[in-house]
């Protein structure tokens, strides 16, 4: 398998899993399960797996781009320098990785602490507001990562 085909397969897996978990599976859980706490717990576990998938895929793509394996010549179909395409993939992958690090690994521990506190004694209005704000910010990072995924797929073609 050529490096460019492997990179395309990796990008397809990464971006496809990102969109599937975030925009199909998680909303379906909340629409289907009557217990929102259970739906949130399952969604949280799925997002944890997705975060690690994102880290691994980003690091592989960054490593491939950094080494410059695709950085030679011009793509005969579209006349674009392979080095330019590799740099774009590198920067998009870095931005997507940053979204994961901030959105999941940065914000999720605070949301988890609020969720645990709510399970032990209920969530007061201030904690509910704070959870909603953190959830909104994390969702914005997830959306940004999803849009960057479109750019990543687009650049690969």
Distance CA(89)–CA(34), nearest Å, equals 41
The pLDDT of residue 68: 62
Cα 23–chain centre separation: 12
Distance CA(144)–CA(147), nearest Å, equals 5
Span 120-134, pLDDT tens digits: 777 788 888 999 999
The pLDDT of residue 82: 55
| Cα distances (angstroms) measured from residue 153 to each of 14, 15, 79, 148, 157 | 10, 8, 18, 9, 7
Query: What is the pTM assigned to this prediction?
Result: 0.84
The pLDDT of residue 27: 97
Span 41-99, pLDDT tens digits: 999 999 999 999 999 999 999 998 877 644 444 444 444 445 566 788 899 999 999 99
Distance CA(126)–CA(15), nearest Å, equals 35
Mean predicted confidence (pLDDT) in 110-114: 89
Residues whose CB falls within 8 Å of the CB of residue 57, separated by 6 or more in sequence, listed in order: 10, 11, 13, 14, 93
Tokens of 38: 């259970």
């Amino acid at each position: 398998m050529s490096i460019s085909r492997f990179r395309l397969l990796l990008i397809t897996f990464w971006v496809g899993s990102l969109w599937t978990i975030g925009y199909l599976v998680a909303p379906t859980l909340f629409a289907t399960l009557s217990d929102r706490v259970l739906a949130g717990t399952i969604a949280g576990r799925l997002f944890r797996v997705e975060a690690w998938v994102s880290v691994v895929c980003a690091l592989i793509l960054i490593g491939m781009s950094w080494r410059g394996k695709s950085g030679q010549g011009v793509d005969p179909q579209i006349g674009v320098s392979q080095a330019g395409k590799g740099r774009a993939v590198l920067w998009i992958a870095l931005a997507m990785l940053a979204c994961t690090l901030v959105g999941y690994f940065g914000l999720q521990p605070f949301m988890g602490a609020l969720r645990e506190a709510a399970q032990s004694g209920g969530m007061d209005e201030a904690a509910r507001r704070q959870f909603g704000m953190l959830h909104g910010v994390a969702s914005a990072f997830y959306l940004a990562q999803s849009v960057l995924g479109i750019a990543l797929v687009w650049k690969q073609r």
